Amino acid sequence: MPNPSQVKNQPPAGGNGEATGLEEVPAAGAGGAALAALTGALAGMRLSVPDLIAEYPFRTLWTELSPTRIRELTAEKQLEHGKRNYRGALIDALDDEVRALHAQRKQTHQAQASPEPIPDDEIDMDALIRSAPLNGYGHRRKP
């Protein structure tokens, strides 16, 4: 048995002796709790949750749903379809949720991207007409 003077002080497994931050843990960041809730809800299926998500690009938004909402949907579908046959209905419900989320984000993005229309009373029509070229060529000089 080695004596205490022979044991070298080694840093913890993190390497630098400091605790690992949440951003360094793959599943603990954004979507980690949702992924855990999805894995629990869809356990027992032939495909894993990452494989289900990979089937369609929009399913990447599944991980952005709140774990509470995933649990609510799971409970609803278990009541409707039973404890064994709810998974297909749950997948459909999750797809509907993320489609609604995507539509909401798209609408918000379009509202932010489009400038507000200028009220008619703020447009100087005389200046607008004077700035337009005549017949597409502008003024012609007389020879």
**Which one is predicted more confidently, 16 or 51?**
51
pTM over 0.85: no
- pLDDT value for 120: 64
* DSSP-assigned letters across all residues of 62-102: GGGS-HHHHHHHHHHHHHHH-SSS-HHHHHHHHHHHHHHHH
Q: If you ran DSSP here, which 8-state letter would residue 139 be given?
A: -
The reported pLDDT for the residue numbered 78 is 92
Residue 134: per-residue pLDDT: 63
Q: How far apart are CA 37 and CA 32, in angstroms?
A: 9
- Residue range 94-134, pLDDT digits in tens: 999 999 988 888 888 777 766 666 666 667 767 777 776 66
Q: Per-residue pLDDT for 76 more than 80?
A: yes
Give the whole-angstrom CA distance, residue 104 versus residue 111: 11
Higher pLDDT, 26 or 59: 59
CA-nearest of 80, 94, 99, 96 to 42 is 94
Position 91 confidence tier, pLDDT thresholds 50, 70, 90: very high
* pLDDT, tens digit, 9 for 90 and up, residues 5-44: 554 555 555 455 444 444 333 444 457 888 899 998 888 8
